Amino acid sequence: MASKMKMCDPCSRLNKSSEGLKYCTDCEDTLCTDCAALHSAVKLLASHHLVDVSVTTGNEFHIKRDCSDHEDMCFEFYCSDHDCLICRTCMANTHRTCGKIQPIDVAAKGCKTSSMLEGVCKDIASLLQSTKTLLEDRQKKKTSVGQSKANVLKEIAKFRHDINVHLDQLENKCRSEVDILERTISKTVGKELADADKRQHVIQNIWQQVGFFTKNGSESQLFIFLNTAKSDISRQAASLQDIIPSLETNDIGFEPLDLISVMKSFGSVKKSSIPCSVKYQHPKHMQAQTRTIPQKVPTKFEFEKKVNISEGRITCIAVTIDNKLLFCNDQTKQISLMDQTGQHLKSCTVTDGNIWGISIIPGTDEAVVTLPNKRLIQFFNITSFTLGRQIHVNIYPYGVAVVKDNVIVGSTSGEVAFIERVSGKCLKTLKVGRGQIVSIVPGVNDKDELLYCCENTGENMIICLKVNGTRIFSHSLRESVGVALDLKGNLYVTGYRSNDLHRISSDAKVDDILLKGFDGLDQPLAVAFNKTFEKLYISNGCTGNVVKDVVIAGSVSGEVAFIEIVSRKCLKTLNVGHGIIGSIVSGGVDKDELLYCCEYTGGTMVICVKMDGTSIFSHSLRGPMCLALDSKRNSYVTGYHSNDLHRLSSDAKVDDILLKGSDRLDKPYAVVFNSTFEKLYISNGGLVHKGVLIFNCK
């Protein structure tokens, strides 16, 4: 069959019909004889490459010449420093300091005999071989699915048969129980029937004799019989009165189990998965122009620049394959894209709720974001920056990672859930701690896939485990938030309260602090490397140590809970004692926010702690009920049982009693100053002086 004739593209644009004989690989046009001659005659086009049109039969050849970062600009140069093609705008904006930039024609000289071509050809050959093997493997799997279906259907039929046999056995057992019960009841009723018949016969006999003597006997005979029969009648009446209440009317009934509503499912059909048997090792390019990723472990970080965020905070950072940065801002609800220099490219607002974690789905142009307050996982396209579908989960998701076809999310209660990416079904959950899993990073060792989890509350652990739940190690670290991995499997973890960056060795035996507060870290959250591990990005939270928009409540068991006002979510709990925390007052000192707590039972202490739980002091006091602070941070504490008011110095080393029962204190409860500290108010709970006492402060 003759191949379809190709038409000349320039002639077609002029509404002419000419057979195309040549193909220009630069213009990507088919040319007729006249157009080919003109093509060679024009000086600007003379350097273009013309090939016979038969070479292109059945194939399409296209070269991407447009810059993906700058619209209407084409690639003209090659940057040796970054091993990439760039346009004039790229060269002016992001490659100004690069040492070697060449026109593409200059950089391409000798390309057909270069090691680059050889390496790429080897890579393609390896890929072709692997895809061929993959096709064969998938074809076998497709065939085996049909056999698996037949086997499963046989198993279902056998299960149904076993159920029928079992139900028959249960039915026969019930029938046997009916027979036994019927015989037992019949035997009992038979005895009662015989006794009743005998009793009736005796009474009937007495009745007949009464009738006989009344009709045929003398009055003396009747009188004698009646007097002798009265005792028999009384005995029968008493016996009948006793036996009737003890008699039962028995019946046989059947109460079926509600198996139909209990059996919600005949069984579950599950998909089992094992790794693909096809092995593929990504080829390593050896050409001189390709930059190699450094294998050494970074020992020092040199500050480059700070990128200011106008509002909110960055809770998670993900790095794309082309080294662009995806930021999650949990307060503005925005996902932002920036280049390596911090230049903002575009943003997308997630209107359904606050966002926290982000993870790119490998091999796709999709990423997934967690919305903790709404219990949602949100997909979005990182190329078009448009929101996609959502998956509802039964936890409050924070940290997120993607491994194969599973989205793995961390909860507020120490659980890690595996969600199937396509169906949204929760495959399993692993209990890795008891606090908030705020970040998850996947990794691999020699043969296993691993998960590294940051537990921000609870036990405050960095946890490494296999995806099957086997724990590799756990390392205690105070309020860790973000984690990143280098090529050697070392972990880089941000300490939110300690304002530092830790490097934990792959076996968790070494913990070095690489960066601290004086390096610019201020409540650090997210941390990430770029793809070449030459840059490290760390996002800072808000400045200062004041806890905002939080209600702090004391419990009956010595705990203090931090409740976020907006979400009503418990952020963390601190164990400050073991009794009733009757009152809490906050106060600042230097740079720290402090909590002053009255433990009414248990240890009966006045306790001062930092917001992170660090103890400042504890002072024993009998039944402390409530406290107030003056401008010097002295504590004024009511003693409920001792009927007095104590003043504790700011370091709790001095304890003065200012008021007693003689001053009308009668089981004092609350105590508070006015805003000018000129008046003190104390409420009494006793019967004698019940009410509110007002004192002038001098």
In the 3-class helix/strand/coil scheme, how is 259-316 assigned residue by residue? HHHHCCCCCCCCCCCCCCCCCCCCCCCCCCCCCCCCCCCCCCCCCCCCCCCCCCCEEE
Q: Do 489 and 344 lie in a common domain?
A: yes
3-state SS class at 95 = coil
Confidence of residue 236 (pLDDT cuts 50, 70, 90): confident
Name the most confidently modeled range: 128-132, 442-446, 514-518, 645-649: 645-649
Q: Do 546 and 595 lie in a common domain?
A: no
Is residue 417 a part of any domain in this protein?
yes
Q: Provide the residue type at 444 as one letter.
A: V
State yes or no: pLDDT of 292 exceeds 60.
no
Q: Residues 502-515: pLDDT tens digits?
A: 999 999 998 889 99
Q: Do 444 and 469 lie in a common domain?
A: yes
CA distance linking residue 581 with residue 573, whole number of Å: 13
Q: Residues 181-202: pLDDT tens digits?
A: 889 888 988 888 888 888 889 8
Is residue 132 a part of any domain in this protein?
yes
How large is the average pLDDT for residues 163-177? 90
Q: Residues 536-548: pLDDT tens digits?
A: 999 988 533 334 4
State yes or no: pLDDT of 419 exceeds 90.
yes
> In terms of C-beta density within 10 A (0-12 exposed, 13-18 middle, 19 or more buried), how is residue 69 classed?
middle
CA distance linking residue 473 with residue 451, whole number of Å: 11
The predicted pLDDT at position 285 comes to: 37
Q: Residues 153-167: pLDDT tens digits?
A: 998 889 889 989 988
Question: Can you give the residue range of the structural domain that contains 126?
Answer: 117-216
Q: Do 505 and 400 lie in a common domain?
A: yes
The CATH code of the domain that includes 619 is 2.120.10.30
Is residue 360 a part of any domain in this protein?
yes
Cα distances (angstroms) measured from residue 599 to each of 255, 359, 498, 618, 682:
56, 44, 28, 10, 18
Which one has a higher pLDDT value, 597 or 603? 597
Is residue 233 a part of any domain in this protein?
no
Confidence of residue 274 (pLDDT cuts 50, 70, 90): confident
Give the residue from 555, 580, 611 where a domain finishes. Answer: 555
State yes or no: pLDDT of 310 exceeds 90.
no
State yes or no: pLDDT of 291 exceeds 70.
no
Q: Do 578 and 597 lie in a common domain?
A: yes
Q: Do 500 and 352 lie in a common domain?
A: yes
CA distance linking residue 439 with residue 496, whole number of Å: 13
Confidence of residue 256 (pLDDT cuts 50, 70, 90): confident
Neighbours of 292 (CB within 10 A): 9
Q: Residues 17-58: pLDDT tens digits?
A: 898 889 888 888 889 999 999 888 888 888 888 888 887 776
Cα distances (angstroms) measured from residue 63 to each of 48, 67, 87, 119, 611:
14, 12, 15, 19, 59
CA distance linking residue 467 with residue 175, whole number of Å: 52
> In terms of C-beta density within 10 A (0-12 exposed, 13-18 middle, 19 or more buried), how is residue 426 classed?
middle
Provide the number of structural domains found in the chain: 4
Q: Do 502 and 444 lie in a common domain?
A: yes
Residue with tokens 């990143």: 484
CB 366 within 8 Å of CB 380 = yes
State yes or no: pLDDT of 549 exceeds 70.
no
561-575: string of b/e by CB count within 10 Å (b at 16+)? Answer: bbbeeeeeeebbbbe
Q: Do 537 and 578 lie in a common domain?
A: no
The predicted pLDDT at position 172 comes to: 92
State yes or no: pLDDT of 284 exceeds 50.
no
Q: Do 582 and 539 lie in a common domain?
A: no
CB 361 within 8 Å of CB 391 = no
Q: Do 337 and 461 lie in a common domain?
A: yes
Neighbours of 424 (CB within 10 A): 14
Beta strand 592-599 with 325-329 is unpaired
Is residue 93 a part of any domain in this protein?
no
Q: What is the mean pLDDT of the chain?
A: 85
Least confident of 146-150, 245-249, 344-348, 396-400: 245-249
Is residue 590 a part of any domain in this protein?
yes
The predicted pLDDT at position 396 comes to: 94
Q: Do 547 and 564 lie in a common domain?
A: no
> To 10 degrees, what angle do helices 115-216 and 219-246 make?
180
Give the residue from 535, 555, 575 where a domain finishes. Answer: 555
Confidence of residue 62 (pLDDT cuts 50, 70, 90): low
pLDDT > 90: percent of the chain: 32
Is residue 595 a part of any domain in this protein?
yes
The CATH code of the domain that includes 354 is 2.130.10.10
Is residue 387 a part of any domain in this protein?
yes
Which one has a higher pLDDT value, 482 or 91? 482
The predicted pLDDT at position 590 comes to: 55
The predicted pLDDT at position 252 comes to: 85
Q: Residues 333-357: pLDDT tens digits?
A: 999 999 888 888 999 999 888 999 9
Q: Do 350 and 482 lie in a common domain?
A: yes
Q: Residues 375-388: pLDDT tens digits?
A: 999 999 998 999 99
The predicted pLDDT at position 286 comes to: 32
CA distance linking residue 334 with residue 349, whole number of Å: 4
